[in-house]
A and B are shown apart, each in its own frame.
Chain A
């Protein structure tokens, strides 16, 4: 069956360090992968999209990689800050699937300690 897994439910790091979150999938052939941020009591906020033919994408302190051979995406936050504390979700849209239907992982809750 198709699965998306985010490697850990929670990740605690010290301010200033780089946070690395992992998203693995099986039995999918995604056209692209997206990362969202969700704060408690709020809706997800779109951060980055990376396509199957892209290896890496950057936006300010954020970097996403996409390895379709390993079926894995890594999400990095450099020089992390307490304000980066949130739950981060990865999501896939599958080629041939419902147009627009996103499949989400359960998320990784990131806590950045000052």
Chain B
């Protein structure tokens, strides 16, 4: 049973470009969460999705950031017009209920 998969593992973007991060949850999991981890900081919740629905986006910046979890395919975290402060590790987690979350390996975004 494959774990949570994220791609790309590393992403380099120049300021102003768009970043798309993908997350495939564990098989059978219908809950997906995105977290951001800055250097020397803890994991910060961004958004919680179920299939085709955003349940909680209270941790996501209001501008430039969006997330989706379509009926088919992976969940996507999209960052438009990236700035240097967006450089971080972005982790996706999935669960089949509301307790234990299983994390992917993360995508490390570097904005030049």
Contacts and interface: CB of A to CB of B under 8 A. Distances in A.
B99 A32 contact: yes
A28 interface: no
A100 B33 contact: yes
Contact of B42 (A41, A45, A107): A107
B43 interface: yes
Nearest to A99: B98
B95 interface: yes
Contacts of B44: 104
Interface residues of B, number: 27
Contacts of B69: none
Interface residues of A, number: 24
A21 to B, nearest CB: 14
B51 to A, nearest CB: 14
A62 interface: no
B91 A100 contact: no
Given A99-B55, A99-B56, A46 B45 contact: no
Nearest to B97: A100
Nearest to A6: B42
Interface of B: 4, 31, 33, 35, 40-45, 48, 55-56, 58-59, 91, 93, 95, 98-106
